[in-house]
Amino acid sequence: MTDNQHDKYIFYTKMAWAIYALITLVVIVVLVLFVARDNEERFFYSIMPAAAAYVFRPSDRVLSNLILKFTGVSKPTGPE
């Protein structure tokens, strides 16, 4: 694999994690602003989606398969 493809894979991995973090942030904002009724619910809805997103984060294998599916760049196989 060339360095260019390796750099592309690293870029797409960082982009995927940024999108994942932004989706989590949007869910938190929607829950806090539109669903929560009092301060206790606002606090709960501000920390629990982030905790759930951390616990249920995609594995490297799943993330690599999605990157390959959408961009066509595969995970590097050799030593870095």
Domain layout of the chain by residue ranges: 3-71
Is residue 38 a contact partner of residue 5, using CB atoms and an 8 Å limit? no
2 pLDDT exceeds 90? no
Q: What is the pLDDT of residue 77?
A: 79
pLDDT-above-70 percentage for the chain = 94
Largest CA distance in the chain: 54
pTM for the full predicted model: 0.85
- pLDDT at 56 exceeding the cut of 90: yes
